[in-house]
A and B are shown apart, each in its own frame.
Chain A
Amino acid sequence: MAGILDVPKPRINCSMLSQFINRAVCFIGRVEKVHPTGKMFTVMDGEGKTATVELNEPLEEELSGIVEVIGMVSNKGEIMASTYNLLREDKGVPFDLELYNEALKVIHDFPQHYPFQVAASG
């Protein structure tokens, strides 16, 4: 867990999963279905596509709404979560997932203006 916190974790959506296999990423999406075992759930991103998240330990609480997951992308394109946090819907401004997706596209279309890698090494 300590290892993953030290590296830059690019924000991605489902269409970018395949480009980040075996890399640490940050994924934001809306919780769709939670597996009965509690160790897996699906999330939908701002474009409407779905990804699967796997956890080390089963969930202890009910998960719903928008969640931010940090983890590694497996060979199968699933996210092996190290940690997650729920974006509370009852507080503050509601999170606009489509707008977040637009911002993601901008960040990936213009990587020269968003040099996140440099920040981590400094």
Chain B
Amino acid sequence: MMSDGRHTLSSFMLSTQLNYMAEENLLVPNCVCVLKRQVTNMLKDGRRVVIILEIDVIKPADASGKIGDPVPYSDGEHFLNIQAVILPLLLVIYSFFSPSFSLAVVRNLKRDFAKKIPSALPDTPGGSSKIVPIASLNPYQSKWTIRARVTNKSSIRTWSNARGEGKLFSMEIVDESGEIRVTGFNQEVDKFFSLIEVGKVYYISKGSLKIANKQYTSVKNDYEMTLNGESTVIPCEDSCDVPMVQCDFVPIGDLENREKDAIVDVIGVCKSVDELTRLTTKSNREVSKRTLSLMDMSGKLVTVTLWGEEAEKFDGSGQPIVAIKSAKLSDFGGRSLSASFSSTMMINPDIPEAYKLRGWFDKEGHAMEGQSLTEVRGAGGRLSENWKSLADVKSEHLGHGDKADYYSCIATIVFLRKENCLYQACPTQDCNKKVVDQQNGMFRCEKCDKEFPNFKYRLILSANIADYADNQWVTCFQDSAEAILGQNAAYLGQLKDSNESAFDEIFQQANFNTFIFRNRVKLETYNDESRIKATVMDVKPVDHREYSKRLIMNIRSMGAK
């Protein structure tokens, strides 16, 4: 029940997208609110019900209780046509019905509507029937008309199962208040499929609403619509007010944080596009495929895969702005996107985000190399490189969590511990366990449970590496140690025993070289003591071009802030 200080009316209902306000106790008795958007419906007994689409609480409930001396409103008096009121309505919530109770009220409404009631307004197409916003559609009212633009239409899909055959098509429509997915089956396919064109605006009425199956679409609506025998679809001429498309774009940099298989909307500049390729699927169908690289203002790049006709028709020349609605996010190569049959792709769309991107790209974006979330080269499936300075590693407490953390850095070796860098290992292939010297010329490997007359030398090198910010002790095993020292373990072992000065010389030479390290850090506990241990997974010589490009990109993005 709500009051405006003069009258009370107990027929207010929250639309489902605002249910959270009730659940989170944002709306409590005696709080003062501004009703910003609503739709009013008339019941058969002349009562009106106001469905709240947008409401802001401006003053929390206080002890003052009733404001003014409101009396219950009766319809005999002149009732402002709330539909036409654009000004927000100031109301106080007097009592609050729990959502379950409101549903009960709603169910009553539905029964009322089931009888054919002569409505106050004639239902002429395109004429004076009240247009309601898509956001107000719910399963409990069936007498409505919406005016919306079709943003995406699927092709006709047929199926055949034990229960029989059928066909369907689906589409997404949008108006100023939101979007919704619409499906038509069998007869409705025949009635409407050829009539409906993407990009055009239609008056649609009397579809049935049900809870949406969010798995297939990124459309933001709790409900989805099905066209039935009573539904009508009429083209609308006056369409300038209806927006072209409703998208909630995710910055490419954020894609790393989204779950795989999520459905997202993205927009970016097509920085590069690859050649069209053809593949044969498991069902022996030939399909065309094309990949393109999309970059946005986060400086990150992602690979997008297009299929079929979209792939064939795509023209990436001139680095167009590409927007994709309902693209599927996958963890292939780290993170990548795919345009599925339910995605909509727009090239150089007429929306503000596209212009912003174009401006940014022409000014600075074109010079940026961008960091790709999709690792195409080398071992695919590795996450993006995660460059850190050695001070960042410590200040961000990498490795302190449950799992090990990996990072890349560029650092210089400042100290190599040559004592105890070699150990005697089992000569068996793939067994690297330290062998016990039996002192009789034989060496025993506990893991293989065998004795050998020989062993192989293996390296465990302790080194201190440093960059401009900090230094770090790391452990290098065989491969990375050999790369740093420039010699293999066997030769080193030999030198250590025979020519100590040559052995020392190798360490001298290896010192103060700079490499790109990929390290793993983890908190390890030895007998009540916890320490961060860093291991070198991979060591590579510095690629100065890559490094310079990255530095320039970082400088530019820091300068832009």
A residues neighboring B (CB under 8 Å): 93, 96, 99, 102-103, 106, 109-110
The reply to whether A103 and B559 form a contact with Cβ atoms under 8 Å apart is: no
Q: Would you give the shortest CB distance from A109 to chain B, in whole angstroms?
A: 7
The reply to whether A106 and B544 form a contact with Cβ atoms under 8 Å apart is: no
- Of residues 29 through 85 on chain B, the ones whose CB sits less than 8 Å from some CB of chain A are none
The reply to whether B545 and A96 form a contact with Cβ atoms under 8 Å apart is: yes
The reply to whether A93 and B552 form a contact with Cβ atoms under 8 Å apart is: no
Q: How far is the CA of A95 from the CA of B549 in the complex (A)?
A: 13
20 A–B contacts, CB within 8 A, in A order: A93-B544, A93-B545, A96-B545, A96-B548, A99-B545, A99-B548, A99-B549, A99-B552, A102-B367, A102-B548, A102-B549, A102-B552, A103-B548, A103-B552, A106-B552, A106-B555, A106-B556, A109-B559, A110-B555, A110-B559
Q: How many residues of B contact A (CB 8 A)?
A: 9
Residues of B within 8 A of A102 (CB): 367, 548-549, 552
Residues of B within 8 A of A103 (CB): 548, 552
Max chain B Cβ within 10 angstroms of own Cβ: one of A99, A102, A103, A109: A102
Residues of A within 8 A of B367 (CB): 102
Residue of B nearest to A101 (CB): B367
Residue of A nearest to B367 (CB): A102
Q: How far is the CA of A30 from the CA of B367 in the complex (A)?
A: 21
Max chain A Cβ within 10 angstroms of own Cβ: one of B544, B545, B555, B559: B555
Residues of A within 8 A of B559 (CB): 109-110
Q: Would you give the shortest CB distance from A7 to chain B, in whole angstroms?
A: 26
Residue of A nearest to B548 (CB): A99
Residues of A within 8 A of B556 (CB): 106
Residues of A within 8 A of B549 (CB): 99, 102
Q: Would you give the shortest CB distance from B547 to chain A, in whole angstroms?
A: 10
Q: How far is the CA of A93 from the CA of B301 in the complex (A)?
A: 26
Q: How far is the CA of A99 from the CA of B367 in the complex (A)?
A: 10
Q: Would you give the shortest CB distance from B551 to chain A, in whole angstroms?
A: 8
Q: How far is the CA of A19 from the CA of B66 in the complex (A)?
A: 75
Q: How far is the CA of A93 from the CA of B559 in the complex (A)?
A: 29
Residues of B within 8 A of A110 (CB): 555, 559
Not counting A96-B548, A99-B549, A109-B559, a sample of 16 additional A-B residue pairs whose C-beta atoms are within 8 angstroms of each other reads: A93-B544, A93-B545, A96-B545, A99-B545, A99-B548, A99-B552, A102-B367, A102-B548, A102-B549, A102-B552, A103-B548, A103-B552, A106-B552, A106-B555, A110-B555, A110-B559
Residue of A nearest to B558 (CB): A110
Q: How far is the CA of A103 from the CA of B554 in the complex (A)?
A: 12
Residues of A within 8 A of B544 (CB): 93
Residue of A nearest to B546 (CB): A99
- Of residues 516 through 556 on chain B, the ones whose CB sits less than 8 Å from some CB of chain A are 544-545, 548-549, 552, 555-556
Q: How far is the CA of A109 from the CA of B558 in the complex (A)?
A: 12
Residue of B nearest to A92 (CB): B544
Q: How far is the CA of A77 from the CA of B549 in the complex (A)?
A: 30
Q: How far is the CA of A59 from the CA of B559 in the complex (A)?
A: 43
